[in-house]
């Protein structure tokens, strides 16, 4: 049996979503703990499988693939400001900078100063970067299907999309 997840001391909770141990420590009920732990563990498991596959097959991480994806598929000229990459990815500004630095060191992207705004840094996909993205893309789609989509029905995929969008929107509003 899984132990319940303790609530922070200052957390107020209704009796409907929590329970108390004999010593007075409050816990989320099992369904809440299962939902939370399941979301975290499933996300981590899928991330690790996708990352490992890209590393083994193409020598890039999932985060590096994601940057290449945004440049290759979501920009007509294969170029985006660093601030736009930061906005689109779930990474911190320093992490995006490190990922872009690694890609630049591998010759997959190039950083330049934006002609219109000398303070802005543009990240541009190189020909080698486009080739790397294209070679990894099919495998990534197959891996997504294997590790996520094939395990769920269409209805479950739609539910998952709605649930995660709701959580992410709430987090975005808190920033």
Cα distance between residue 12 and residue 48, in whole Å: 35
**C-beta of residue 91 within 8 angstroms of C-beta of residue 63:** yes
Average pLDDT over the chain, rounded to whole?
88
Cα distance between residue 39 and residue 55, in whole Å: 24
Q: pTM score, two decimals?
A: 0.80
pLDDT of residue 3: 54
Q: What is the pLDDT of residues 107-118, one digit of tens each?
A: 999 999 877 777
pLDDT tier at 1, thresholds 50, 70, 90: very low
pLDDT of residue 10: 45
Which residues 6+ apart lie within 8 Å of 58 measured at CB?
65, 132, 135, 136, 139
Task: Please indicate whether residue 22 or residue 98 has the higher confidence score (pLDDT).
Answer: 98
Task: Please indicate whether residue 88 or residue 106 has the higher confidence score (pLDDT).
Answer: 106
Q: What is the pLDDT of residues 35-94, one digit of tens each?
A: 999 999 999 999 999 999 999 999 999 999 999 999 999 999 999 999 889 888 878 888
**Domains, the chain, ranges and CATH?**
31-140 (1.10.10.10)
- Locate 30 and state its tokens: 């099992």
């Amino acid at each position: 049996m899984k132990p319940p997840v303790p609530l922070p001391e200052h957390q107020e909770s209704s009796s409907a979503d929590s329970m108390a141990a004999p010593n007075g420590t409050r816990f989320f009920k099992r369904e809440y703990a299962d939902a939370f732990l399941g979301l975290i563990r499933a996300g981590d498991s899928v991330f690790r499988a996708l990352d490992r596959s890209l590393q083994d097959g193409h020598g890039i991480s999932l985060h590096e693939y994601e940057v290449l994806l945004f440049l290759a598929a979501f920009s007509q000229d294969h170029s985006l400001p660093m601030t736009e990459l930061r906005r689109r990815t779930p990474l911190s500004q320093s992490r995006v900078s490190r990922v872009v630095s690694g890609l630049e060191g591998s010759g997959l992207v190039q950083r330049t100063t934006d002609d219109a705004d000398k303070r802005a840094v543009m990240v541009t996909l190189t020909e080698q970067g486009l080739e790397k993205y294209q070679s990894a893309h099919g495998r990534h789609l197959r891996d997504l299907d294997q590790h996520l989509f094939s395990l769920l029905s269409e209805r479950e995929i739609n539910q998952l999309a709605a649930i995660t969008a709701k959580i992410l929107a709430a987090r975005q509003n808190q920033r």
